[in-house]
Copies of this chain bind each other. A is one copy, B any other.
Amino acid sequence: MTTETPIRLTIERLTREAFAPFGDVIQADDSVRHFTINDGNTERYHDLAHIDAGQDGRAIVSIFRGQPRILPFPVTMMERHPKASQAFFPLSDRPYLVVVADPASTPTIDDLRVFLCNGGQGVNYAKGVWHHPLLALDAVSDFLIIDRAGPGDNCDVVQMEAVSLIPALEWR
């Protein structure tokens, strides 16, 4: 079924609580375990994401360089990695968007959650969580990625049946 009028999605601020069904927020703040190391020089915000490369995979580090998206932006597809988690941390200190949906079933527009992340917030999609590919804003932006190398196909893609739009940002 295709609706004629695009559905306007709601943008939420990224918080650990709101994102918990989808994975981890990677952020240095006092709400996480942290302690002082290096003879007082350094504060360690410890173990911020559940990295899961699967039984037959290994964790790898890559850099993604994303072109900025133009808002309003239509969400026409979603993807998921059934074998492993995938973490993104912004390196360009710029806000970006993530779109996620519960891994339990094929997402419909009603399942989509859109989060605005600030330049000091990373996200780690738990294994199997539906998400939209990288949504950089404003300028070409780099992200450090921790995901999986290993045998087998690790990307499912679904085309969205109805048309939705991420609106222009009215706040930052």
Which chain A residues have a beta carbon within 8 Å of chain B's beta carbons? Answer: 26-28, 37-39, 41-49, 51, 53, 58-67, 69, 87, 89, 91, 93, 120, 122, 124, 133-134, 142, 144-146, 149
Contacts and interface: CB of A to CB of B under 8 A. Distances in A.
Contacts of A37: 64, 133
A91 B66 CA distance: 17
A44 B149 CA distance: 13
**Oligomer: number of copies:** 2
Contacts of A93: 91, 93
Given A133-B37, A144-B144, A64 B91 contact: no
Nearest to A77: B39
A38 B69 CA distance: 12
A65 B42 contact: yes
B41 A149 contact: no
